[in-house]
Amino acid sequence: MLNLIKADALPAAPEAHRLMHEAMAFFDESTDRIVAPDRPGEVLDLAKALNRLVVSTRKQILDDAVAASPAPDHSNM
């Protein structure tokens, strides 16, 4: 999904872009700790934090996509 935003295939507001950059920066900063953790359980903690960032980004992206969609026309209902 993040690649689709980069390719401008999905609409995204500035907040989604900010969250996306935050998630990517966190992953970049955590790479060494993921590969060689300092303590037991550190990778799990990093994975949880990264997952929270990705989930919040995905939610914002979907919210942006829904907001950018035209309202359905159900005049007969």
Residue 50 lies in a domain: yes
Tell me the per-residue pLDDT of 13-55, one tens digit each, with 9 for 90 and over: 788 888 888 988 998 999 898 888 888 889 999 999 999 998 8
**How much is the pLDDT for 2?**
57
Residue 23 lies in a domain: yes
Give the range of the structural domain holding residue 28, as residue numbers without chain letter: 2-66
Residue 73 lies in a domain: no
Residue 10 lies in a domain: yes
Q: With 60 as the cut, is the pLDDT of residue 5 above it?
A: no
Residue 72 lies in a domain: no
- Burial class (CB within 10 angstroms; exposed 0-12, middle 13-18, buried 19+) of 20: buried
Q: Give how many domains the chain has, as a whole number.
A: 1
pTM above 0.75, yes or no: no
Tell me the per-residue pLDDT of 53-66, one tens digit each, with 9 for 90 and over: 988 988 888 888 78
